[in-house]
Amino acid sequence: MSRFGLAAALALAAGLLLAQAPAPSAPPAPNAAGFGGGRELQRQTGQRFTDNCSGCHGTPGTVGRAPNLFDSRLLSARSDEDLFRIIKAGISGAEMPAFAELLPDAQIWQLIAWIRLEADSARPRPAFIADPDGAVITSQAQKFRLKVVARGLDTPWGIAALPDGGLLVTERPGRLRRIASDGAMATISGTPAVWERQDAGLMDVAIDPDYARTGWVYLSLVELKPGYQLPPPPVLKPGERPPNHPSMTIIVRGRINAAGQWVDQQTLFRSPPDRYTPSGVHYGSRLAFDAQGRLLFSIGERGDMANAQDLATPLGKLHRINRDGSIPADNPFLNRPGAVPSILSYGHRNPQGLAHDAAGNLWEAEHGPSGGDEINLIRAGGNYGWGVVSMGIQPGISARAAPGMIGPVAYYTPTIAPSGIMVYRGNRYPGWRGNLFVAALSGQQLRRLVLAGPRITRQEILFNAYGRVRALATDAQGHIVVLVQQPTGQGTGQPLSAATPGLVVRLEPLP
């Protein structure tokens, strides 16, 4: 008999809870992100399971003489903390001894994450539906119909609602589109050139809080290092990617004139040349405005987690500037020698979601490594831990918490790859007012999170079959509009960062 009687313990601890646990409302997201650079850690954790557990409990896809640990109902009936306590302390009178002396805490947490990831990888995925137009969905608090507003977009990334009922949408290859209330689409000419490669390109768009008077439109985009001369393109073998070159996120603003041209451009944020890096991942980026009208933006750590803890670099940070690019007098690191003065918070990995609730709380969403995607409440000057702690599996990180570091309000293992987020404040959907909506790339999800002050009390997957959900906004009529993109990554035959067609979809409430 294996010492590792976890499933037997869970059967005792969960009991009727397992038998009565309802099936999830929709399958969770596949682990499309994989283990990234942690494949050796994955192998080691899987071997630990095989050595200690498989004799009784089988392996993924097989059945042992003890209950199967990869049962989704069993896993949904217990939190990670519940499982950790069972493994570490055991259960008196059962075949479940305490593993406190055999397994360090970090290995127990890794084993729990590995079990969840393996269980998820074996679940059937919902079939992709390329055209959601007319689909009717009955959620827990609102029935609604999906209406396709615009088609033919190329990898849509950011969306902003205009006062006249129209929308501005960015496409990662570098186009800014204006979509009229009747669905007519036009391309804004003269927008800044972007560096598009892997995750890089034209990203978010936002309009000025006083747009009717100022006309300012804000963009986050990736540029090549100024003055950098591209070498001749190499001859690539089949399956090879072209090399990356030093690039960085910048923030600009401009106006759109009556002829549909981008004019009056101003650069609000640009890093020093020595901060440009050839990494092609984890750019962030999202734009938002606080109650004082100051501009917030996020920049990812570009695949180097040490950047997230280094206040001398803008990477892995949330930033706050005035709308003209100047630095607010109350920024937390304004007077810290060597620190980037625009930093609002740090210790972030790949933050792609920013939203304020009605009470002024700033919510943030970011991608974790293998699992461990986070929903955070942001405090000025706060350290959110990436590079030192993580709820996911990452080589070099073994802790889930550390003094002085702020943990997430919610996290996801397996990954959902959260992107744009939004708190709904309109009146079109009475049951959704004040809820936090999360666009998720992995699993094609739109999630609804019920907030109670600083807590998340309930979550619901509204849909999960129409493509990668990148961003969302509330239009001038109070409708939620979302950007979806045809799936990429595992099982699609497309690289994860491939360019694919996308849509704008409106959620129309039904009685």
The residues carrying an active-site annotation are 282
Question: Which residue type, as a one-letter code, is found at position 255?
Answer: R
Q: Which stretches within 77-154 are classed as H helix?
A: 80-89, 105-121
Residue 31 near residue 447, CB atoms below 8 Å: no
Distance CA 88, CA 98 (A): 5
Q: Given the DSSP bridges, would you call strands 418-423 and 436-440 parallel, antiparallel or unpaired?
A: antiparallel
Nearest-10 crossing angle of helices 105-121, 80-89:
130
- Separation in Å, CA 208 to CA 245, 255, 331: 32, 10, 21
DSSP 232: P
Distance CA 465, CA 311 (A): 40
DSSP 277: B
Residue 437 near residue 480, CB atoms below 8 Å: yes
Write the CB contacts of 372 (distance below 8 Å, at least 6 apart in sequence): 113, 390, 391, 392, 393, 394, 411, 412, 413, 415
Q: What are phi and psi of 83, to 5 degrees?
A: -65, -40
- Separation in Å, CA 479 to CA 100, 138, 297: 52, 16, 25
